[in-house]
Every structure is written in C-alpha cells, then in structure tokens.
C-alpha cells in the first residue's frame, strides 16, 4: 500500500504501534511524549495525520480510540529507502554504496555483511 511520506514526528508516533498494538493515544503519549517534549494533544494531532495518510487506523472502544498501524515497518523502510535512492542516486544502489565506502562510513562488519548478501544473490 502506497502511503504519503511519514514525517519524523509521525514516525515517532507510529513506532510504538509497530512494537505493540492496538494502543490508545494516552498509551502512545506515555511512550513518546517525555522524550519528545510533547503533550497528549500533540500526539493526537500526529495520530490524526497518520490516519489521514492511511498509515494508521482506529476503532472506538467506549470513549477511547484504539490505534493500529496499517503499514508494516519493513514496508515503510523499503519505501523510504527507495525514495532516498531515487532522490540522491538516480535510482541506483551502487552509487550509494560507493559513496559510503569512499567516506569510510562502512565498517568492516558492514562490508562483510554486504559481501555475504551479494554472494547469496548471485546464481
């Protein structure tokens, strides 16, 4: 499911839902508000944005709403990775890896993991 881009603030709100759901707005606020310095109302506003984007759904349970994600964390990671690669590297992965390697961003463990992935991909 294609979802409009999720902002950093919205990401902070959906993350607890990926870890456990359904949750109420109060439960989400308890998990993120202190670290972010947000009020319950801010969390509710961000939840509303996520609902409007089709990333989160809710159901009424008495006087409270239970929220759950409509997108999987892995699917979001793939979409964001694709956006980054398309925007910065003309849709090609190899320039991204080369860019990281040339700037000594990749550790020996990263290089070994990439090599293992490539080996598994080869026929």
- Round the average pLDDT of the chain to a whole number and report it: 92
Contact indicator for 33, 40 with CB cutoff of 8 Å: yes
Say if 54 falls within a structural domain.
yes
* Alpha-carbon distance values, 15 to 8, 73, 111, 119 (Å): 11, 8, 28, 32
Say if 43 falls within a structural domain.
yes
What number of other Cβ atoms are within 10 A of residue 109's Cβ? 8
65-102 residue pLDDT tens: 999 999 999 988 998 899 889 999 999 999 988 888 88
pLDDT of residue 30: 94
Q: Say whether both 46 and 59 belong to one domain.
A: yes
In this prediction, residue 35 has a pLDDT band, given cuts at 50, 70 and 90, of confident
In this prediction, residue 103 has a pLDDT band, given cuts at 50, 70 and 90, of confident
SS3 120: helix
Say if 116 falls within a structural domain.
yes
Q: Say whether both 59 and 32 belong to one domain.
A: yes
SS3 92: coil
User: What is the domain extent for residue 33?
Assistant: 8-69
Query: Residue 25, exposed/middle/buried by CB under 10 A (0-12, 13-18, 19+)?
Result: buried
The yes-or-no verdict on residue 1 having pLDDT over 70 is no
pTM of structure = 0.79
Q: Say whether both 14 and 65 belong to one domain.
A: yes
Contact indicator for 2, 78 with CB cutoff of 8 Å: no
In the block, which residue shows the tokens 């694709």?
A: 82
Q: Say whether both 24 and 60 belong to one domain.
A: yes
């Amino acid at each position: 499911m294609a979802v409009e881009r999720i902002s950093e603030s919205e990401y902070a709100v959906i993350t607890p839902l990926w870890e456990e759901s359904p949750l109420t707005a109060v439960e989400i606020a308890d998990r993120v508000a202190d670290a972010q310095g947000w009020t319950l109302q801010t969390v509710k506003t961000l939840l509303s944005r996520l609902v409007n984007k089709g990333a989160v759904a809710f159901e009424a349970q008495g006087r409270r709403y239970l929220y759950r994600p409509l997108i999987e964390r892995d699917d979001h990671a793939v979409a964001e990775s694709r956006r980054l690669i398309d925007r910065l590297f003309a849709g090609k992965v190899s320039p991204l890896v080369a860019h990281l390697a040339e700037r000594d961003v990749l550790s020996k463990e990263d290089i070994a993991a990439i090599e293992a992935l490539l080996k598994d991909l080869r026929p």
